[in-house]
Amino acid sequence: MSKLGYDPLKLKKHKISKLIALLTIILILELIPLVVKAGMSMRYSEDWGLGKSDEGIQPVGNEEAAYLKQFDAYYVGSPNDKVIYLTFDAGYENGYTEKILDVLKKHEVSATFFLVGHYLKTNPELVKRMVDEGHIVGNHTCSHPDMTKLSPDKFTEELQEFEVLYKEITGENLVKFYRAPAGKYSEANLKTAHEMGYKTFFWSLAYVDWDNDKQPTAEEALTKVLPKIHCGAIVLLHSNSKTNSEILDTLINLWEEKGYSFKSLDTLY
């Protein structure tokens, strides 16, 4: 202890403790933005979903239309126009797409087919027919992964590989419409797709139609789909569905009887 009555060793320890406390505070302040950012990323890694709604009323989606629009993303059209936008997802051919195309041709309805790379490679003639008959082919990625788990570079690669395949088959540049596999999306995905020049399309009407082993009857499917129709509906159907190929003609007729018309997605925005 010094002559002045204090212990230099204790004073040194006190200063060190204060320094450690100060450094801890600085570290916490540095980490807070990173934690918040990580939390936001988790918040926006979701599966697209819809709330229940009455007939004629647009359902509420995971995100508001205004939020999606900043990324050129959409799930529904105008609430004031009795317009339906037909879209089909296809990862593989199950023998029903020709019939679906026949029905669309009969009614002069243009649809959008969101395809994966496998479909392009194995069904080039059907892809050409879609394009020749005025339908849009959209990008459902090359290999249908969970896009929320990919880095920005891998995300970009998935879409660009599809673009290359499409041009090799059709000789045309792809219309940059994107639909996330299984509806899984994140804010980062929406931003990257937008930066690549894509418009992202979710949906406002769909039902469980993709399981080949659990296909609903035509009556069951119509009961599920017909009451959900609304102005600006973006309808998602799967072209591998036997039931969809059977009910499409009836669906179009019944919706037209209710005063709805059909337009292509490129008229929505």
> 75 with 234: CB under 8 angstroms?
yes
Q: Tell me what pLDDT residue 42 has.
A: 39
Rounded distance between C-alpha atoms, residue 189 and residue 68, angstroms = 12
Measure Cα distances from 249 to 2, 145, 216, 245 in Å.
Answer: 99, 32, 17, 8
Q: Tell me what pLDDT residue 2 has.
A: 45
7 is catalytic: no
Q: Write the class of the CATH domain 46-267.
A: alpha beta
> pTM for this structure?
0.84
Q: Which of 89, 140, 209, 230 is catalytic?
A: 89
89 is catalytic: yes
Dihedral over Cα of 181, 187, 191, 194: its sign:
positive
Walking along the chain (269 residues) 10 residues at a time, the average pLDDT comes out as 52 57 55 44 72 89 95 97 98 98 99 98 98 99 97 98 98 99 97 98 97 97 96 98 98 97 96
Q: What's the start-to-end Cα distance of the chain, in Å? A: 80
Tell me, what DSSP letter sits at residue 259?
T
Rounded distance between C-alpha atoms, residue 193 and residue 177, angstroms = 9
Q: Which of 140, 144, 230, 238 is catalytic?
A: 238
Rounded distance between C-alpha atoms, residue 109 and residue 101, angstroms = 9
